[in-house]
Structure 1
Amino acid sequence: MSTMDKRGGRSTQRTLWLALLFGQALVAVAIVMLIRSRPSGNPSSWNEATSQPTDRDALLHEGAELQLHLQSWRRRAAAASITEPDSILGLSTTTITTTTSSTAGASASSPTCDPNGHPVTAVAPIEPKYLMRPASEVASENPEFARLLAAHSNEQREIMLALTNAVMICKNTTLCWWNGGNILESFLEILERSNITNHLIGVTDEQAAKYLEDRAAARGPRAFAVNWFRPAVQIPAVQANTREANRVSSLKFSLLQTSLQLGHHTMITDMDLVYISNPFDELHRDADIESSSDGFDEMAYGSMTSIHDPTMGWGGGGLYMNTFTVNVGCAYLRATHRAFAVVKRAADQLAAQPGWDQQVFNEHLLTKSHGDYSSPYATLRVMDIDKFVNSKRFFRTRRAAYLPGASSSAPTPVMVHFNYHPDKHARMLCIMDRYFRNKLDACDKFPGGSEPGSR
């Protein structure tokens, strides 16, 4: 082949290559122009002369698809050694990231590539019905709850949310299941002792409301303020004939959906526990959900174990992970789309069929994606089980470190939760005596289990 033929071939290849790049750039520019021309997701900012009603879910889906197109173009541009592809689009990386965020969490990945040239893996978009609605919409529907959250949350927009009814006062011992005792009153003392001012208590009946009103009147205006309200939500009809605890607990997800959508990071709490210090001081805040555990050993965090089937010969071994469920009696949920997705899935299931809120919550949080099922992909941090301690670890599995109190080698917990023992209130009082009133031997008499003499 002559030199001229070789030059002509290279010229033709260069022309085809430039034409391909030009065509790709035109497609990308068209996509960006479409994004920029899309009316705002906020109806109040539309131009009334040109705007048309749009479907929010469809827009979210369209935005996610457009972002995938842009990511695909960047990968091909990088493979063709095109530097600074965003300059071709007339956009900065920051602009693209903002555009991605405006799709309400449809894609959490960055459009950039990592050093070896492979794209950053994108987590699947959240199904639109599990995305949080705009806070302004939710606030307009729940103005009083929004006002209370704003008034009582801390500077980080964090709130502790609890629920109570007259059963927690336990005037009728046939209705309470912890051998008697006013858990509500003890919980209020705990809030004051640990100075947890950013709290809000939902009161579900008249008896509990009157108790709090009478208590406030007796203590006077200078006393520690108890922040409470009457929730405007109903217990799901399917929970009507379940245990009292289930009926009250089923409400927590309804309130939790609202507080998260209003942008408040929420610590949901039971009352059968003792906060020895302020739990907000011990949070890591690096996950969608940060929760205490029902685990009392290494299974709280997950432990690897194995199985061997001799009938399978040399291939009969296998590994699997053991892990305990987290306990939504003390759980901190950040106001993220993926934390909200777990809560809404649990709430929808509890509204459709009877169930135990903790079991349902864990199923949606921990079940892996498989087949047609897509996980919410919420990130989870398990709280330190020697700071956020359950009663089985305190009184039984690590008993020698905690008891007797005078020779305890364990650090002072942040919280002790009486989820394993039926004599809840009696053990609450012993923890309060030991850590609030320095009665070191207050818990020494209690057995490890529920039966006398058990260790």
Structure 2
Amino acid sequence: MAGRKEKIQPFHGCGIAIAILVGIVIGCVCTVLLPNDFFKSGSLKVASASCERVKMFKAEFAIISEKNAELSKQVSELTEKVRLAEQKTEIKAGPFGTVTGLQTNPTVVPDESVNPRLAKLLEKVAVNKEIIVVLANNNVKPMLEVQTASVKRVGIQNYLVIPLDDSIESFCRSNEVAYFKRDPDNAIDVVGKSGSGSAVSGLKFRVLREFLQLGYGVLLADVDLVFLQNPFGHLYRDSDVESMSDGHDNNTAYGFNDVFDDPSMTRSRTVYTTRIWVFNSGFFYLRPTLPSIELLDRVTDTLSKSGGWDQAVFNEHLFYPSHPGYIGLHASKRAMDIYEFMNSRVLFKTVRKNEELKKLKPVIVHMNYHSDKLERMQAAVEFYVNGKQDALDSFSDGS
């Protein structure tokens, strides 16, 4: 019997140790899984926190669902617009006499990143996403004074000066004329501050690009013109480029057949040619389209590499057709009414000598043909604004 007890006692001690160990393990597990122990109050706190999380997730889900619905709506609308656009490109020719081609290119998507500072200014100054832009340095300050006075007289709000030196900036500030001072650029500033009229004229093609990229229609105006009406009420906006003409009558301004005669060709000595007098690069309107931006790029590139007169280069790129070695610019064009957007040749050679035409009030008068620009600008104001009937009489026809 004593021997049997010696065998049983060790086994009994091990069982007790194992039980204690199991109890400790279970206690640890419960401590990890249920940190608030087994009391009822702890369980209620866990349940309450879980409910709050569920409510928060439901609220976030509702917001995401609402945003998703809005995005789905926008996607549907864009899909429909794309579908309609695709339908418009699939056009069948209608009956004789009803077919017209599209001449208005779509506007570019505005990109404010090209010049955020200018974008903010244009939001305040522009009207209906359109702006008049004028470049000026101190050399033309007297003419700018006459022009800005005419702008205020007519009540044009969307007029913006690009001062090319400190003098013009000071003038604009003191006379409450909207202006935009460009970021420093040595290459441009040298031309702007000390350049001649022709150099500054060529500079404008480079400056205008950002306005178009921002999605604004731009009416470029030289300083040697007077505003007599608001020009935006007289634009058609059906072309990429809408420009005043250097022509002096309907034929020269809008186009005519000109016969070239070569007697050496005997029976085929006459050849009919089509001619038009150039568009004036001192007053033109550009819609914010890719062809308009391409025009500015081409003119800027040509002037920087080959030089030349900016107006000649402007017209070459507008009118030269594609031919071997050259791809023409595909931009739609409109010539402005020569009696509304009047050049000084029309005014001094024709209008002032015709009693009926003298009764017309032009939108602008541009002294592009004459060198005594300031005096003729002042005379135009006397005639059309102050009613002095002999204000134009003392000037010669030519410059």
Give the TM-score taking structure 2 as reference length. Answer: 0.72
What's the offset of the Cα at 1:320?
Answer: 0.2
Which deviations, in whole Å up to 9, do the C-alpha atoms of 1:221-253 show, x marking residues without a partner? xxxx41112122647579959961122223211
Q: Greater RCO between the two (CA within 8 Å, min separation 6)?
A: 2
* Alignment partners' CA distance in 1, 2:214 and 2:315: 24
* Alignment partners' CA distance in 2, 1:358 and 1:286: 22
Tell me what 2:180 maps to. Answer: 229
SS of the equivalent of 2:219 reads strand
Tell me what 1:28 maps to. Answer: none
1:340 and 2:255 correspond: no
The amino acid of 2:223's aligned partner reads: M
What's the offset of the Cα at 1:309?
Answer: 2.1
What's the offset of the Cα at 1:398?
Answer: 4.2
* Alignment partners' CA distance in 2, 1:94 and 1:284: 26
Give the alignment's Cα RMSD to 1 decimal.
3.1
What's the offset of the Cα at 1:134?
Answer: 4.9
Tell me what 1:300 maps to. Answer: 253
The amino acid of 1:207's aligned partner reads: S
1:395 and 2:348 correspond: yes
Higher helix share: 2
Contact 2:225–2:365 (8 Å) recurs in 1 = yes
Contact 2:108–2:288 (8 Å) recurs in 1 = no
Aligned partner of 2:222 among 270, 281, 286: 270
What's the offset of the Cα at 1:372?
Answer: 3.3
Flag structure 1 segments of 5+ consecutive residues without an equivalent. 1-91, 101-108, 170-181, 217-224, 451-455
Which deviations, in whole Å up to 9, do the C-alpha atoms of 1:389-443 show, x marking residues without a partner? 11111101444226xxxx8644111111101111100010011112222222211
Q: Percent identity?
A: 34
Tell me what 2:93 maps to. Answer: 114
Which deviations, in whole Å up to 9, do the C-alpha atoms of 1:90-128 show, x marking residues without a partner? xx996356469xxxxxxxx82233258xxx9999xx9xx
The amino acid of 2:123's aligned partner reads: A
Question: Given the superposition, is the C-alpha separation of residues 93 and 143 from structure 1 closer, same or farther in structure 2, using an over 3 Å criterion?
Answer: closer
SS of the equivalent of 2:161 reads strand
For residues 135-284 of structure 1, the aligned pairs below 5 Å read 135-136=110-111, 139-155=112-128, 157-169=129-141, 182-213=142-173, 215-216=174-175, 225-232=176-183, 234=185, 236=187, 244-284=196-236
Question: Given the superposition, is the C-alpha separation of residues 395 and 305 from structure 1 closer, same or farther in structure 2, using an over 3 Å criterion?
Answer: same
Which deviations, in whole Å up to 9, do the C-alpha atoms of 1:309-366 show, x marking residues without a partner? 2222222221101211111211011111112211111122223332322221111111
Tell me what 1:312 maps to. Answer: 265
Contact 2:228–2:363 (8 Å) recurs in 1 = yes
The amino acid of 1:111's aligned partner reads: E
SS of the equivalent of 1:229 reads coil
* Alignment partners' CA distance in 2, 1:327 and 1:449: 18
Tell me what 2:307 maps to. Answer: 354
Tell me what 2:325 maps to. Answer: 372
* Alignment partners' CA distance in 2, 1:291 and 1:235: 31
What's the offset of the Cα at 1:255?
Answer: 2.1
Contact 1:273–1:415 (8 Å) recurs in 2 = yes
Q: What count of residue pairs does the alignment treat as equivalent?
A: 315
Question: Given the superposition, is the C-alpha separation of residues 408 and 426 from structure 1 closer, same or farther in structure 2, using an over 3 Å criterion?
Answer: same
1:445 and 2:387 correspond: no
* Greater displacement, 314-323 / 387-396: 314-323
Question: Given the superposition, is the C-alpha separation of residues 205 and 99 from structure 1 closer, same or farther in structure 2, using an over 3 Å criterion?
Answer: farther
* Alignment partners' CA distance in 2, 1:235 and 1:292: 32
Flag structure 2 segments of 5+ consecutive residues without an equivalent. 1-78
Tell me what 2:238 maps to. Answer: 286
Give the TM-score taking structure 1 as reference length. Answer: 0.63
SS of the equivalent of 1:299 reads helix
Contact 1:367–1:375 (8 Å) recurs in 2 = yes
Contact 1:265–1:332 (8 Å) recurs in 2 = yes
Tell me what 2:67 maps to. Answer: none
The amino acid of 1:197's aligned partner reads: Q
The amino acid of 1:231's aligned partner reads: R
Contact 2:341–2:362 (8 Å) recurs in 1 = yes
Question: Which structure has the greater CA radius of gyration?
Answer: 2
* Alignment partners' CA distance in 1, 2:357 and 2:108: 49
SS of the equivalent of 1:135 reads coil
Contact 1:235–1:251 (8 Å) recurs in 2 = no
* Alignment partners' CA distance in 1, 2:381 and 2:138: 22
* Alignment partners' CA distance in 1, 2:207 and 2:195: 20
Contact 2:114–2:210 (8 Å) recurs in 1 = no
